[in-house]
Amino acid sequence: MASSFREILKSDKFVVTSEIGPPKGTNIEKMLQHIDLLKDKVDALNVTDHQSSVMRFPSIGGCLAIKEQGGEPILQVTCRDRNRLALQAELLFAYTRGIRNVLCLTGDAVVVGDHKAAKGVFDLDSAQLLKTIRQMESGKDLGGNDLDGTVEFCAGAIVTPEANPLEPQLIKFEKKIEAGAEFFQTQAIYDLDKFAKFMEYARQFRVKILAGIILLVSARMAKYMTDNVPGVSVPQNLIDELAAAPKGEAINKGIDIAGRMIATLKKESICHGVHVMAIGREEVVPNILKAAGLAT
Amino acid sequence: MKSITKQKPFEEIQRQLDGLDRVYIAGCGTCATMTKTGGMDEVLAMKDRLQELGKLVTGWIVIPTACDEMTEVAIKENNGAIQNASCILVMSCALGVHKLSTYISKPAIPALDTLFIGVEDGPGYFQEVCAQCGQCVLGETAGICPLTACHKGLLNGPCGGTNNGKCEVDKEKDCAWTLIYQRLEQQGRLDLMRRFHSPRDYNVAPRPRTIRIA
């Protein structure tokens, strides 16, 4: 069975993905509700892998739940917690359970998370992980040994189009493409002119770019992200717009902003799709899609 | 090149000396003196603190270079005071603790933690520039080791956590890959950064690493 997500990426459709954050603990009720709410409204759902180095229910567990509910999962795999043996084993397991899409990430540093004394592994990096997938597809593991049954994945990676300085990130971006990345989900973008410039450059490569859209729920969050999240800069006019919203209405303004951006990206064919992240507020993703004119 | 050390919390030293009431103290005249962790001043201060605790300090020494062969001679000369002690508290890096452990049968207790092999890049400022990995890539990274200077030890360029040339783990720390990029650009050798590095061989010299020079 090939990846249906890959088929969608190959088509001319404006691709929409979103993501699920697994719980800290075994209470997966809310995660299952989010999956149920979103699985038919988007083309695929990422499941984060101990996002921000905070220990949680695993990405593979969330992906299996998506499969069980008839959705299309994207397995996020970071190199922070596993060496090359464990990473390959995870890919073998994922494949046997019908998971066909993998997003390859280096992973955040251990010390930004909630197990600061843990050992960061980083035996591989994101580019090496992508290449590992392609090698496994050829029937060999990283040790050069034959695999009894291979894998086949639609493999993706991330890029930060507004990073400063940008050039080192672009070199990495091109390395990821050479290593086998087929699609990219970007870090959050808010300045569409800057992003359009990035896309002018990125279009020379045969990869699909899904613009990262992170829902802003307040002016404070927008300022925090600008000050603290690498490669994220919310323009002042958007911060002002959020600040001007009546009390309790800022999230609706954020939904409007996200919807407006998505609509523009689609209408002007700036990129191939969007990856919508509503960190902790997954229940409003349908509202964002509606605001963007994408809801069915 | 210096072996960089830091004194252990005194409570930990105290805990290690539990039941060992007669202590001989050995400092080191080389790295630990430079880093002010095991020179004569620190050894004498330790002597005072142990005496305040009620320990008997049978003697002390600052060995010229604790990791050197001459340590055996220095120890022999102080044999009486060492024989009188129930242990030797070592205020040198772990190399000195290792050497002393091979020359005396009494327990050698480390008073310091060994942090890294550092180079002095300014008065009193030491930094780790080499992780002694056994596979030098400096020729391709403009003399900056990504394995050491990048928090994640990445070989294929920066992660997405770098911001304005700084590292995601510390806003004061330079991103190694931004520095490498800048130097390679100056040298007109950015093609080196585009080169794909395969996963590292962690078995290039199996641990514990040894070598015999003919």
| Per-residue tens of pLDDT for chain A, all 296 residues | 456 999 999 999 999 999 999 999 999 999 999 999 999 999 999 999 999 999 999 999 999 999 999 999 999 999 999 999 999 999 999 999 999 999 999 999 999 999 999 999 999 999 999 999 999 999 999 999 999 999 999 999 999 999 999 999 999 999 999 999 999 999 999 999 999 999 999 999 999 999 999 999 999 999 999 999 999 999 999 999 999 999 899 999 999 999 999 999 999 999 999 999 998 899 999 999 999 999 75
pLDDT tens by residue, B159-192: 999 999 999 999 999 999 999 999 999 999 999 9
pTM here? 0.95
Residue B13 within a domain: yes
Domain match, B95 and B139 both:
no
Minimal Cβ distance to B199: which of A142, A171, A178:
A142
Looking at the complex, report in whole angstroms how far the Cα of residue A83 sits from the nearest Cα belonging to chain B.
11
Q: Where is the domain boundary, B116, B142, B166?
A: B116
Question: Do A278 and A33 form a contact (C-beta atoms < 8 A)?
Answer: no
Domain match, B104 and B42 both:
yes
For residue B214, pLDDT over 90 is answered with: no
Residue B213 within a domain: no
* Contact across the interface for B156 and A127, Cβ inside 8 Å: yes
- Which residues does chain A have within 8 Å of residue B163's beta carbon, measured at their own beta carbons? 163-164, 230-231
Distances in whole angstroms, Cα of residue B151 to Cα of each of A61, A171, B144, B205: 29, 19, 13, 22
Residue B212 within a domain: no
pLDDT tens by residue, B26-48: 999 999 999 999 999 999 999 99
User: Distance between CA B111 and CA B100 in Å, rounded?
Assistant: 13
* Contact across the interface for B181 and A168, Cβ inside 8 Å: yes
Q: What is the pLDDT of residue B78?
A: 84
Looking at the complex, report in whole angstroms how far the Cα of residue B140 sits from the nearest Cα belonging to chain A.
15
Minimal Cβ distance to B178: which of A123, A124, A168:
A168
User: Distance between CA B6 and CA B114 in Å, rounded?
Assistant: 7
Domain match, B15 and B99 both:
yes
Q: Which CATH class is domain A4-214?
A: alpha beta
Looking at the complex, report in whole angstroms how far the Cα of residue B173 sits from the nearest Cα belonging to chain A.
14
Looking at the complex, report in whole angstroms how far the Cα of residue B178 sits from the nearest Cα belonging to chain A.
7
Domain match, B16 and B109 both:
yes
* Contact across the interface for A175 and B196, Cβ inside 8 Å: yes
User: Distance between CA A192 and CA A274 in Å, rounded?
Assistant: 13
Boundaries of domain holding B40: 2-116
Average pLDDT, chain B: 95
Residue B209 within a domain: no
Q: How many CB atoms lie within 10 A of CB A150?
A: 15
Residue B97 within a domain: yes
Distances in whole angstroms, Cα of residue B179 to Cα of each of A128, B111, B158: 22, 36, 10
Residues of A with CB under 8 A from a CB of B: 84, 106, 108-109, 111-112, 120, 122-128, 131-132, 142, 158-160, 163-165, 167-169, 171-172, 174-175, 178-179, 187, 230-231
Residue B204 within a domain: no
| Best to test chain B binding among A123, A171, A184 (most B CBs inside 10 Å) | A171
Looking at the complex, report in whole angstroms how far the Cα of residue A168 sits from the nearest Cα belonging to chain B.
6
Distances in whole angstroms, Cα of residue B74 to Cα of each of B24, B29, B84, B139: 13, 12, 16, 42
* Contact across the interface for A123 and B163, Cβ inside 8 Å: no
Helices A59-68 and A84-96: angle between axes, nearest 10 degrees: 10
Peptide bond into A58 cis (omega under 30): no
User: Distance between CA B83 and CA A169 in Å, rounded?
Assistant: 62
Query: Which ipTM value was assigned to this complex?
Result: 0.94
Domain match, B33 and B80 both:
yes
User: Distance between CA B88 and CA B22 in Å, rounded?
Assistant: 9
* Contact across the interface for A171 and B178, Cβ inside 8 Å: no
Question: Do B97 and B115 form a contact (C-beta atoms < 8 A)?
Answer: no
Domain match, B171 and B88 both:
no
Number of compact structural domains in chain B: 2
CATH code of the domain covering residue B97: 3.40.50.2300
